[in-house]
Amino acid sequence: MPEISRFFGIIIRMYHDDHAPPHFHADYAECKAVIDIRTLMVLQGNMPARALGMVTEWATLHQGELLAFWDRAQSGQPLEKIPPLA
């Protein structure tokens, strides 16, 4: 699964040919969450509120890119990096 961003110990990944709805995976320490790109709601898993807040802030800034990456991943195209949360 390609890593598309990393910041403050959080790793953001997206699978090629993953199931709908459009989403990404966020890992922080032992915590894992699947985040819906359109609603930014947690679909599965959990993580500490502070880490989830940073993930949500980052995803809000890059929502359009994430949706474009989802389409690219679904068609098997390579994914690039998205800048981390600063």
Domain membership of residue 81 (yes or no) is no
State which residues form the domain around 15: 3-74
Diameter of the chain measured on Cα atoms: 33
Please report the pLDDT score of residue 6 as a whole number. Answer: 98
Question: What's the pLDDT score for residue 17?
Answer: 83
Q: What is the pLDDT of residue 69?
A: 96
Flag whether 58 is in a domain. yes
Q: How far apart are CA 2 and CA 83, in angstroms?
A: 14
Spell out, as residue ranges, where the chain has pLDDT lower than 70: 1
DSSP state, residue 30: T
Residue 84 lies in a domain: no
Identify the pLDDT of residue 1: 67
Distance, CA of 31 to CA of 79 (rounded, Å): 24
